[in-house]
Structure 1
Amino acid sequence: MTTEGEALVGGMANAGAVFRRGEVVERPAPPNAPALHAWLLALRERGFDAAPTPVGLTDEGRERLTFVPGDVPLPPFPDWAMTGAALASVGSLLRRLHEAAAGVTVDTRAEWPRDLADPEGGTMLCHNDVCPENVVFRDGRAVALIDCDLAAPGRPLWDVAMTARYWVPMRDPGSEPAPYPAGLDVPARLRILADGYGLSARDRADLPAVIEQATEVCRAFVARRVAAADPAYLQALAERGGWDRWDRVQTWLADHRETFTAALLD
């Protein structure tokens, strides 16, 4: 296998293994790549052009996808990516994905990853990893979602909750590390994301509790990676305050549930 080409940075799972060759990106293929590629093609058939298009699979177990031009926020996240307008556009883009995905039949034979999946399941595939590093921007507006490796069946609200965790972010401001600008107004930003998505009143009332549920799933995901001695996750855990930080975040979310609900509904 040749690794000639431009190495693309960002993310933890495939660090150092993603290359751009002209208009094609080549990266390690997930085990369910055929089903995932079929889903991406079905989305495009339904008019969702805001994701890479599958090109094919190599004999070396790598996938080839079209390159999506634009700007991808990398830590420390730049101020332009943390504006209210950028956040609203992320919500709008996620809504577009869900509207297209709702009409695509999920391949129930595929082994969709459970790493960050909705524990309650669902009939629609969620992206599950709409973090800043997986969103492509142009002129300050979110235009595409990339890295769909963790897509799995779930509720649309689960995807909104996971996105809120990364983009608001739903983390204790007192212990938040350097990647995010200081002074972000969490309740106000949660409302902006919900408004950008067009979230219903019922889902707004349920969102804070689902964010708490999503945080528990993310913690368990990190714990599995740490137990497997994954060096990237061991380093990240140490640099970001260890398990004490997770404890603070989970307590903080529960303590502020009414504040978040009021911001969403008032």
Structure 2
Amino acid sequence: MTDREGPLLGGMANARAVFRRGDLVERPASRHARDLHAYLRALKEHGFDAAPAPVGLTADGRERLTFIPGDVALPPFPDWAMTSTALASVGRLLRRLHEAGAAVAVDTRAAWPTDLADPEGGTLVCHNDVCPDNVVFRDGRAAALIDFDLAAPGRALWDIAMTARYWAPMLDPDSAAALYPAGLDPAARLRILADGHGLPAKDRAVLPGVIEQATEVCRAFVARRVADEDSVYVRALAERGGWERWDRVQTWLADHRRTFTAALLDSPGLRGRG
């Protein structure tokens, strides 16, 4: 077996079910794969080439997409993926996605997944799962996004909030220690992400509250999977501290809301703007 053939590591829902076949990736197709493929093609037409291009669907319920070469950080996340340079590049890449996506009309007939969708809805299809496992890096900078299975209409602000949860990370120190390098400053890193995206002041002022809302949505997502006895999520919940961890994270976010807001608004990225 060569490095051009075989299983690709990472992810939870599709763990051990994603394979590289030369220049293609073959993986389980979501129930809205046809709509998602149309969206990915439209993104490319509007200049966003940093996502897999859909090739087609198979008769046995799988999809084929182009393989994107590069490095993907898997947990526990390595130092190279958590540098300030890497973080700023994630913000820039997300902005590129949002700028191209703003020109793509949302198909209101599509059955977009609601699992991690923005409760307020929106006219932009958000990725909703820009975790380190779903970002392809080259030379230490974010080059592409993969795994759009949870994409759904929402606000760019929501997508940034979901991204910040993974990349700041927006976790109390005890929770972060299990997956991230020591010494990360969530407030400073939240500002770097917002600067990379070019987030305006009005959105920065409410971003910490939206992150808290996004955390509640993610908790409900996990709760549904656990209630359905999904073994992957049952095991992950047990290994990562159970519901006490989720309680601790939510309390920590609320307690530090002012700190995060101050860091976001006291930013070189805002200076000089009218």
Q: Say yes or no: does 1:157 pair with 2:152.
A: no
By how many angstroms is 1:176 displaced?
Answer: 2.5
* Cα separation, 2, equivalents of 1:68 and 1:175: 31
Letter in 1 for 2:240: R
Match of 2:93 in 1: 93
* Cα separation, 1, equivalents of 2:139 and 2:5: 26
By how many angstroms is 1:182 displaced?
Answer: 1.2
Q: Say yes or no: does 1:263 pair with 2:263.
A: yes
Match of 2:269 in 1: none
Match of 2:251 in 1: 251
* Cα separation, 2, equivalents of 1:19 and 1:186: 34
Q: Say yes or no: does 1:199 pair with 2:203.
A: no
Q: Is the 8 A contact 2:237 2:243 kept in 1?
A: yes
Q: Say yes or no: does 1:114 pair with 2:114.
A: yes
Q: Is the 8 A contact 2:54 2:64 kept in 1?
A: yes
Q: Is the 8 A contact 2:194 2:204 kept in 1?
A: yes
Q: Is the 8 A contact 2:169 2:176 kept in 1?
A: no
* Cα separation, 2, equivalents of 1:207 and 1:158: 8
* Cα separation, 2, equivalents of 1:250 and 1:140: 31
Match of 2:52 in 1: 52
Match of 1:127 in 2: 127
Q: Secondary structure at the match of 2:143?
A: strand
Match of 1:224 in 2: 224
Deviation digits for residues 17-61 of structure 1 (CA, Å, limit 9, x no counterpart): 111000000001111111100000000001100000000111111
Q: Is the 8 A contact 1:95 1:197 kept in 2?
A: yes
Q: Is the 8 A contact 2:71 2:138 kept in 1?
A: yes
Q: Say yes or no: does 1:27 pair with 2:13.
A: no
Worse-matched range after superposition: 233-242 or 156-165 = 233-242
Match of 1:79 in 2: 79
Match of 2:143 in 1: 143
Letter in 1 for 2:30: P
Q: TM-score, normalised by structure 2?
A: 0.95
Q: Is the 8 A contact 2:130 2:163 kept in 1?
A: yes
Letter in 2 for 1:158: W
The two structures, once aligned, show a CA RMSD in angstroms of 1.0
* Cα separation, 1, equivalents of 2:261 and 2:177: 25
Q: Is the 8 A contact 1:177 1:240 kept in 2?
A: no
* Cα separation, 1, equivalents of 2:114 and 2:183: 34
Letter in 1 for 2:250: Q
Q: Secondary structure at the match of 2:11?
A: coil
Q: Say yes or no: does 1:215 pair with 2:215.
A: yes
* Cα separation, 2, equivalents of 1:216 and 1:31: 25
Deviation digits for residues 184-208 of structure 1 (CA, Å, limit 9, x no counterpart): 1110000000001100000000100
Q: Secondary structure at the match of 2:182?
A: coil
* Cα separation, 1, equivalents of 2:5 and 2:112: 30
Letter in 2 for 1:207: L
Q: Is the 8 A contact 1:72 1:136 kept in 2?
A: yes
Q: Is the 8 A contact 1:86 1:140 kept in 2?
A: yes
Letter in 2 for 1:145: L
Identical columns (%)? 78
* Cα separation, 1, equivalents of 2:139 and 2:178: 24
* Cα separation, 1, equivalents of 2:178 and 2:216: 22
How many residue pairs get aligned? The number is 263
Match of 2:179 in 1: 179
Q: Runs of 5+ in structure 1 lacking a partner?
A: none
Q: Runs of 5+ in structure 2 lacking a partner?
A: 267-274
Deviation digits for residues 43-90 of structure 1 (CA, Å, limit 9, x no counterpart): 000110000000011111110000000000001111000000000000
Match of 2:18 in 1: 18
Q: TM-score, normalised by structure 1?
A: 0.97
Q: Is the 8 A contact 1:212 1:250 kept in 2?
A: yes
Letter in 1 for 2:74: L
By how many angstroms is 1:178 displaced?
Answer: 2.1
Match of 1:70 in 2: 70
